[in-house]
Amino acid sequence: MPKPPPRQPNRRDFCRTALAGVGAAAVGSAGGCNISLPLFGPLPLETDWSQRRERYDVLVIGSGYGGAITAARLSAQPGHTVAVLERGRAWPVGSFPDTPDTAASALRLPGLNPTGLFELRGSRDLTVLQGCGLGGTSLINGNVVIAPDADIFDDERWPAALTLESLTPYYDAARTMLGVNPHPRARQFTKYQTLQQRARAAGTTAEPVPIAVNFGGDGANAQGVMQSTCIDCGDCMTGCNVGAKNTVAMNYLPLARNNGADIFTNVEIQYIERGGGLGWRAIGVRHLPLGLTEPVTMEAATIVLSAGSLGSTGILLRSRARGLALSPRLGDGFNGNGDFIAIAYNGDAPQDAIGFGNRPNHALRQHAPGPAVIGAVRYDPTGAANQRFLVEDLAFPSAMLASLMQIMPLFGGEDTDSGDEAAELGRALLSRPSRPFDRAHALAHSLALIVMGRDTISGRVVLGDDDAATVSWPAENNQVPSVEIINAELREYAAQIGATYQSNPLWQLSDRRSLITAHPLGGCPLGDSIETGACNADGQVFDDEGNLIDGLYVADGSIVPTALGANPLLTISALAERIATKI
């Protein structure tokens, strides 16, 4: 292996700010330095594969919130070598799919397109949507940055050391780095107004949600990365081609790179094992062009798994199958964060939820949807936990319009009004994929809604016949009373706009009432012992006798032991900030 060249100067070399508890983690928003721009401009995020070291102090597997944060914080320690391994590829601003063809080619298919951006995995009864690329699911999520209710941590499945109060400094550090704020004009958007109208009828109110989006103008951010201000194009969930979305590729990963971390893409780790001495080996493959791969072995003193609920759990399950002694709770506690998706289809008036992407002069600009999510309605915030839920608006990304126009009619649903069948048919007939941006067609008169609840139901992550992690999710999980409560309320949103109510769309395709989640959690749950968890409150992994394994940590959504009833990215980020200080 070639000897790496001398390391380039970086921010830390000039301001010498080391992480000392969360106080340093939360300094300004520049990650511990008062210099607003790198002295030599931002370093390229990716490191050339030929420049890898034979051994690192810390190997971070995965580059989503957990991986990016731990890499940024641990690389701030003087003298520490850190590498990030991401199975997907980099997606620079401007390269995200915004047409049907590019969206189809971005679907991740193991063996055929292993570095695709969108990944759908799961079982017959639960489907998981997650991102694959440098930045993980932050590339394709709805940007919502909120904390759960304080009593979520009263659940006995959470370690005693973790409370909303104890995590508050870490929540604050993550908010600062992610550049969080509500949309300054949230209340002007049609889909927000629809939320508000129903909320008031139900005796509550909608509120703008804090989102990780730049509304502050064009220019370099605190890490020296050039960003543009949001143009309200609605394409957040297929990747922001404007450069306004504050993914971890805009903040934590550049900070890690400027701190001297190496970042490698197209490297998929399959399992880990003890290495020479007290260290570790990570074994996997590197994806090459034309579907080819080459074997990879990386060595480190410490490994941080941040590959997500299915990724990190799968790596540990395969490692256990090869002899690594781990907690019997490994694989437990998988949940979909109480996610429920519904669509109010073909209503009486346009809902202005159609994304137009990075087309600044598009005719739809005056009817812009805004970011993917703008507002939220909290239901029964002081009631029984399993009856609390959060409803948020969604936009339809431009890359998906043509497909959705063809698929939506297949979902059927319940028409909530009568007497306007001719008008509904007319809008349906205008639903031609060749004219996706026409405000007169049925999809333009539709609104998508996502709900997060606090169900206590859970499944289990197991290895399938192909050695890949899959979800064992009992069908009865989809029949719990809280689902019916949510379903009944979402129908009222459709009735309010005279639309056809399509409850969780996958329900319509079979009699199994299959759910879909964009927020997979659990699999390596936190716990105070191996009786309750696969790792402790600090993310350190238990062996099969309850001892903590030196140099092995998990920091991602897989450690969250319960549904949160809120978008999980902030809690995952806070846990990662805390774990980094513990490491």
Confidence (pTM): 0.91
Residue 210, judged by CB atoms within 10 A of its CB (0-12, 13-18, 19+), counts as buried
- What pLDDT is attached to residue 298? 96
- What pLDDT is attached to residue 34? 30
Give the DSSP letter string of 76-121.
TSTT--EEEE-SS----TT-S--SHHHHHHTB-BTTTBTT-SEEEE
On whether the CB atoms of residues 558 and 572 are closer than 8 A, the answer is: no
Q: Please name each of the domains of the chain with its CATH number.
A: 11-89+248-334+523-582 (3.50.50.60), 100-239+336-517 (no CATH)
* Sheet of 375-379, strands arranged across: 206-208, 375-379, 389-394, 447-453, 340-345, 500-502, 414-415
Look-up: residue for tokens 């129908």?
491
Distance CA 90, CA 86 (A): 9
Q: Which of 38, 523, 139 is nearest to 314 (CA)?
A: 523
- What pLDDT is attached to residue 40? 38
Distance CA 191, CA 394 (A): 8
Distance CA 57, CA 21 (A): 20
For the chain, the maximum distance between any two Cα atoms, rounded to a whole number of angstroms, is 76
Q: Which two tokens stand for residue 353?
A: 């939820």
Look-up: residue for tokens 């991986």?
67
What pairs with residue 298 in β-bridges? Answer: 282
Look-up: residue for tokens 């949600």?
209
On whether the CB atoms of residues 490 and 391 are closer than 8 A, the answer is: yes
DSSP 397: -
Distance CA 582, CA 91 (A): 31
Distance CA 583, CA 70 (A): 9
How do beta strands 126-131 and 515-517 pair? parallel
Give the DSSP letter string of 8-38.
PP-HHHHH-----HHHHHTSTTTTS---SS-
For 191-243, what is each residue's pLDDT tens digit?
999 999 999 999 999 999 999 999 999 999 999 999 999 999 999 999 999 99
Instruction: Assign 377 to helix, strand or coil.
Output: strand
For each of the chain's 583 residues, which pLDDT tens digit applies? 444 444 443 433 333 333 333 333 333 333 333 323 333 345 689 999 999 999 999 999 999 999 999 999 999 999 999 999 999 999 999 999 999 999 999 999 988 899 999 998 867 778 889 999 999 999 999 999 999 999 999 999 999 999 999 999 999 999 999 999 999 999 999 999 999 999 999 999 999 999 999 999 999 999 999 999 999 999 999 999 999 999 999 999 999 999 999 999 999 999 999 987 779 999 999 999 988 999 999 999 999 999 999 999 999 999 999 999 999 999 999 999 988 899 999 999 999 999 999 987 888 889 999 999 999 999 987 777 777 899 999 999 999 999 999 989 888 899 999 999 999 999 999 998 889 999 999 999 999 999 998 877 788 999 988 899 988 887 665 555 577 888 899 999 999 999 999 987 655 555 555 678 889 999 999 999 999 999 999 999 999 999 999 999 999 999 999 999 999 999 999 999 999 999 9
164-178 vs 569-582: helix crossing angle, rounded to 10: 100
- What pLDDT is attached to residue 360? 77
For 234-260, what is each residue's pLDDT tens digit?
999 999 999 999 999 999 999 999 999
Distance CA 557, CA 568 (A): 8
